[in-house]
Amino acid sequence: MEFLEEYNINIVSLVLVIAFVYPVIMGIVFKLKSKSMVVTIKGVLTSMAMVCSIILTTVVVKNVFALDKYGLVEYISSKISPSFAYLITKSKLFNGIILLFTFLIIYQIFKALIEFISRTTLYPASDAIDTSIRNTGRGTRALLGGIFQIPKAICYMIILSALLSYASIFLNNPKLDNKLNSSTIYSYINKKIIEPVTDSEIAKSFPNILENSFKVVDEKNNIVDDVNGYLQGVVFYNGVTLDEGIRSNEIIDNTALSITSKYDNDYDKARSLYEWIGNAIIYDDDKATEVMNNPIPTEINSGAINTFNTGKGVCFDYACLYVAMCKANDIPVRLIVGEGYNGMSWVSHSWNEVYIKEMDKWVNVDSTFYNAGNYFDNDTFNSRSEERFSRNAETDARSRMPSSA
């Protein structure tokens, strides 16, 4: 490692280069042969199958478990055990096990399909190919052998980059993240292939969403109650509990009522609060850095009151202030905490959901990214209320977003 650092060689880039060069060299050494061509084609198909399996796994797991589109998690919670349902959606260990088994099943299906194609198409074609290359020179066959391995080499690089990306998600290792961020090759593959996939919501892991624990229990209180006991004792950023974070005062309440005074429906009131916070509060990069460097900080002021008084904060502060102002207007609101992918690694993030009475639905609100675009009931941001967080919001606002939102 010291040798690599001395010559400024990025270990991630080196590994990716080796992954590309190795199959090409093997193709040159062993030259182009009909049987090796079949093996190579199967290898390329297998590599593509692995990539597709990774993508399909994330889609299946997200829809079945993270978003519960088919009601499986709800069924488990109501019929079997709420605690088990909670573990399925929140535990990283369970997430990993589910991802692994789903991937293996999908991958085996692809492999069976590849074997069928090989027996019906590739093997018969190899005899004809063997006849056409038999009389060519060794140099030509060596060159063709190397060229024929390039698609396989590219697949190796993509797969390895995807695995490194997943590793950064689950390991949460700053050193690995730094190596990935400083790798030109990985950054290029990430920007051109991996990031577009994640930005399109195809690949997404399990965000730590405080979803069913938040219930509107009183039209006057309009905010959260912990129905399952999971949130008791939860500590955010600086030791501030949720109740402390969303605590308001008379000045905030009066300001919130003044902002919404000219509107007569919840939608316009909620949007005006979103716009006011987006304009009035600036993102506190120094605080975000301090939070990231102190896993359990105890001396950093957070929450609605501090944010209102100082005019700055991080995403949790934006979300807390929005809750406080909605409460002052008797508008039901939720605070959501989870993780968002910034193209390189997963970072903490907080945002809101507000209930629009006249529309009879919850809409997503993210005042942190107000200056980056429209993130109030936006079609992209709110394509499914269960999906919680728009990848495009993360991407468009990345210039305003430090290592933690």
**CA–CA dist 29, 39 (Å, integer):** 15
CA 179 to chain centre: 19
**CA–CA dist 17, 12 (Å, integer):** 9
Bridge partners (DSSP) of residue 236 are 240
> Of 110, 81, 107, which is closest to residue 94 (Cα–Cα)?
81
pLDDT over threshold 50, residue 231: no
Mean pLDDT confidence for 32-36 = 65
Under the banding of pLDDT at 50, 70 and 90, the label for residue 217 is very low
Under the banding of pLDDT at 50, 70 and 90, the label for residue 264 is very high
Domain with CATH 3.10.620.30 in the chain: 242-400
> Of 266, 350, 265, 345, which is closest to residue 314 (Cα–Cα)?
350
**CA–CA dist 235, 296 (Å, integer):** 9
CATH architecture, domain defined by 242-400:
Roll (3.10)
**CA–CA dist 41, 228 (Å, integer):** 53
63-89 tens-digit pLDDT: 777 666 777 777 777 777 777 766 666
**CA–CA dist 315, 193 (Å, integer):** 28
- The answer to whether the CB of 58 falls within 8 A of the CB of 175 is no
Residue 67 identity (one-letter amino acid): L
120 burial via Cβ count (<10 Å: 0-12, 13-18, 19+) = exposed
Give the least confident one: 44-48, 274-278, 355-359. 44-48
Q: Which residues contact 68 (CB under 8 A, 6 or more apart)?
A: 74, 89, 386
> Of 33, 22, 15, which is closest to residue 150 (Cα–Cα)?
22
For the chain, the C-alpha Rg in angstroms (whole number) is 26
* Whole-number pLDDT of residue 109: 92
Give the least confident one: 109-118, 176-185, 306-315, 321-330. 176-185
Under the banding of pLDDT at 50, 70 and 90, the label for residue 60 is confident
More confident residue, 182 or 232: 182
Q: Which residues contact 125 (CB under 8 A, 6 or more apart)?
A: none
Mean pLDDT confidence for 305-315 = 93
Q: Which 8-state DSSP code applies to residue 76?
A: I
- The answer to whether the CB of 304 falls within 8 A of the CB of 252 is yes
* Whole-number pLDDT of residue 175: 78
* Whole-number pLDDT of residue 6: 63
* Whole-number pLDDT of residue 143: 83
What is the average pLDDT value for the chain, to the nearest integer? 74
Under the banding of pLDDT at 50, 70 and 90, the label for residue 169 is low
What is the b/e burial string over 179-201, where b = at least 16 CB atoms within 10 angstroms of the residue's CB?
A: bbbebebbbebbeeebbebbbeb
321-333 tens-digit pLDDT: 999 999 999 999 9
* Whole-number pLDDT of residue 163: 83
- The answer to whether the CB of 205 falls within 8 A of the CB of 344 is no
Q: Which residues contact 193 (CB under 8 A, 6 or more apart)?
A: 158, 161
- The answer to whether the CB of 51 falls within 8 A of the CB of 44 is no
Alpha helices in 247-367, H assignment, sequence order: 250-260, 266-280, 285-293, 304-310, 315-328
> Of 327, 321, 323, which is closest to residue 303 (Cα–Cα)?
321
φ/ψ region of 303 (left if φ > 0, alpha if ψ in -120 to 50, else beta) reads left
Under the banding of pLDDT at 50, 70 and 90, the label for residue 295 is low
